[in-house]
Amino acid sequence: MPMFCSARRWAAAGGWAACLCATVAAWAGPVDPVGDFLFTRGLVDGAMRTEPTTSRPPMSDLVVHAIGFVGTPYRLGGSHVESGFDCSGFVQTAYRQTLGVALPRRAAEQAEATQTIDHTDLVPGDLVFFNTLGQAFSHVGIYVGGDRFIHSPRSGAQVRLENMKEAYWRARFTGARRVEALAAGASALLGR
């Protein structure tokens, strides 16, 4: 059970995806954009949906926007939904389009330009980095909650959700970072 999800919510929701939806709804008040997205794809039932509102945390918008890229093909050097993304192009585009934040182009540069945080302090919208090419910050994704992240993994693959606790990702995890634009919202979620 993820740390952001109470035992009651986890049991009532029926798993990580539904719990993520319920958690985003709790952060944002009466809006559940993740639940709406998952409902339209038949992944949760209509009970997870709520009425839209215009007020929600920026990390909610970022996660929902990033999830909207699921299925976009990987393309080395890519930074457009039409032609495909590599990992850092995906992150750069999601932040720019959702929050207007200009992140550097390469994963290692994105790590340098953001605040180091402990993995226990991860909240949706934070960046997670991995060593996939023999370099500490050679791969990046966006944390969505519940030990899951979204990324553009490799040639021949598509943007997708992964579990950070899978052996492959756990062994290659090199750090978590927070984009300054989300720091205040993250502190509120963590109760600090």
21, 80, 87, 119: the catalytic one is 87
Judge contact between 115 and 183, C-beta under 8 A: yes
Pair (37, 90) in one structural domain = no
CATH number of the domain encompassing residue 144: 3.90.1720.10
CA–CA separation, 27 vs 146, rounded Å? 15
- 69-83, 93-107, 130-144, 170-184 — which is least confidently predicted? 170-184
Which residues constitute the domain of residue 14?
Answer: 7-56
Judge contact between 148 and 141, C-beta under 8 A: no
Pair (174, 109) in one structural domain = yes
Q: How many domains does the chain have?
A: 2
Judge contact between 127 and 121, C-beta under 8 A: no
| Residue whose tokens read 């990992």 | 87
pLDDT of residue 4: 41
Identify the DSSP state of 135: S
Judge contact between 86 and 63, C-beta under 8 A: no
Instruction: Look at residue 128 and give its three-state secondary structure.
Output: strand
- Let me know if 80 is a catalytic residue: no
Pair (35, 118) in one structural domain = no
Contacts of 10 (CB under 8 A, 6+ apart): 1, 2, 19
Pair (50, 104) in one structural domain = no
Tokens of 5: 């999800």
pLDDT at 50 over 80: no
| Single pTM value for the model | 0.71
Q: Does a structural domain hold residue 1? A: no
19, 21, 65, 139: the catalytic one is 139
Q: Show the DSSP H helices in 45-166 as ranges.
A: 58-67, 87-99, 107-112
CA–CA separation, 111 vs 183, rounded Å? 15
pLDDT at 169 over 70: yes
Pair (40, 124) in one structural domain = no
Pair (18, 72) in one structural domain = no
pLDDT of residue 59: 83
- Let me know if 119 is a catalytic residue: no
Pair (110, 166) in one structural domain = yes
pLDDT at 1 over 50: no
pLDDT of residue 42: 60
